Amino acid sequence: MKTQITEMFGIQHPIIQGGMHYVGFAELAAAVSNAGGLGLITGLTQRTPEALANEIKRCREMTDKPFGVNLTFLPTVSSPDYPGYIKAIIDGGVKAVETAGNNPQKWLPAMHEAGIKVIHKCTSVRHALKAESIGCDAVSVDGFECGGHPGEDDIPNFILLPRAAETLKIPFVASGGMADGRSLVAALALGAQGMNMGTRFIATKEAPVHDNVKQAIVAASELDTRLVMRPLRNTERVLRNAAVDRLLEKERTLGSGIKFEDIIDEVAGVYPRIMQKGEMEIGAWSCGMVAGLIHDVPTVKELIDRIMLEAESIIRQRLGGML
């Protein structure tokens, strides 16, 4: 399948693996790239630029296909060593970067000079237009269904994607609620040039996370996610568990006076314990509503092959047969 996104990133299938904290290691990124998609290493999961350089090297040993790095620009006082991370990406010969969070404008010239294509993650049309105006090559349009941070506008993809298609000149992929061939065909029909999957890729054999995490996603329905940190305007969609219930109770009790310090036990530093040790009740972790569509733990190749077969069948037979 040929789209502007497959052409831009030199990949076989218009499927990108989202950047996910303590999930996007070399093993998963390489598996996605080897199966014809675009795998992404999560930059900030690597504590230092040196660690990221090493992870890029490890990924290079596992695949000769294009892969990228996700780099989230955080609105923090003590910011990570972004110049160091950018240098590691450029020196590692990576040609695709997914940026997220704050405006990546100051980093674009260096990346473009190194021949890197930049796709910026946006949760609204106005942010997507801003990304286009500063020179991003593509955007990942993230609907309200997504795991992680859906923004504060609450616009689901059935509205957000056609709005993006009406407005943008650069290509975009659909992110949030994407799981299978149906998702891909729907995304293409609504104007996207491909799709980005996060939660679906966690429930694969190669995802380097504890089996408890994969089984929790398979067991979950579309009703099992919750929105936390909404009063702090840092909304995150997470899978419901004991810690999330505690967090939501604090939000109810403290109301608008809540501060990040009040919920730090439920959100700070919990990812290694959940993703690597399988301590499922210890804290809040990102998960999309799409969990309701995830019923198995295939290999990445089985998943991508199945998606493409299903998408082709829908386009050629089901939709073609209706004409």
What per-residue confidence (pLDDT) applies to 77? 65
Which tens digits make up the pLDDT trace of 49-86? 999 999 999 999 999 999 999 999 987 767 899 999 99
Looking at the fold, whether 68 and 175 belong to one and the same domain comes out as yes
What per-residue confidence (pLDDT) applies to 79? 87
Confidence check: pLDDT of 249 > 90: yes
Q: Tell me whether residue 83 is in a domain.
A: yes
Q: Tell me whether residue 301 is in a domain.
A: no
Length of the chain: 323
Looking at the fold, whether 129 and 257 belong to one and the same domain comes out as no
Confidence check: pLDDT of 229 > 80: yes
Confidence check: pLDDT of 261 > 70: yes
Q: Tell me whether residue 292 is in a domain.
A: no
Which tens digits make up the pLDDT trace of 192-207? 999 999 999 999 999 9
For the chain, give the percent of residues with pLDDT over 90: 98
In this prediction, residue 171 has a pLDDT band, given cuts at 50, 70 and 90, of very high
CA angle 244, 150, 177 (to 5 degrees): 95
307-310 own/partner pairs: CB under 8 Å, 24+ apart: 307/13, 307/15, 307/180, 307/181, 307/183, 307/184, 308/1, 308/13, 308/36, 308/181, 308/184, 309/181, 310/180, 310/181, 310/182
The arithmetic mean of pLDDT across residues 78-100, rounded, is 96
Residue 82: CATH number of its domain: 3.20.20.70
Confidence check: pLDDT of 19 > 90: yes
DSSP states of 115-159: T-EEEEEESSHHHHHHHHHHT-SEEEEE-TT-SB---SS---HHH
Q: Tell me whether residue 308 is in a domain.
A: no
Give the residue numbers spanning the domain of 47.
Answer: 4-204
Among 142, 169, 204, give the residue marking a domain's end: 204
What per-residue confidence (pLDDT) applies to 32? 98
Which tens digits make up the pLDDT trace of 109-159? 999 999 999 999 999 999 999 999 999 999 999 999 999 999 999 999 999
Q: Tell me whether residue 229 is in a domain.
A: yes
The answer to whether the CB of 31 falls within 8 A of the CB of 60 is: no
Q: How far apart are CA 243 and CA 245, in angstroms?
A: 5
Looking at the fold, whether 130 and 248 belong to one and the same domain comes out as no
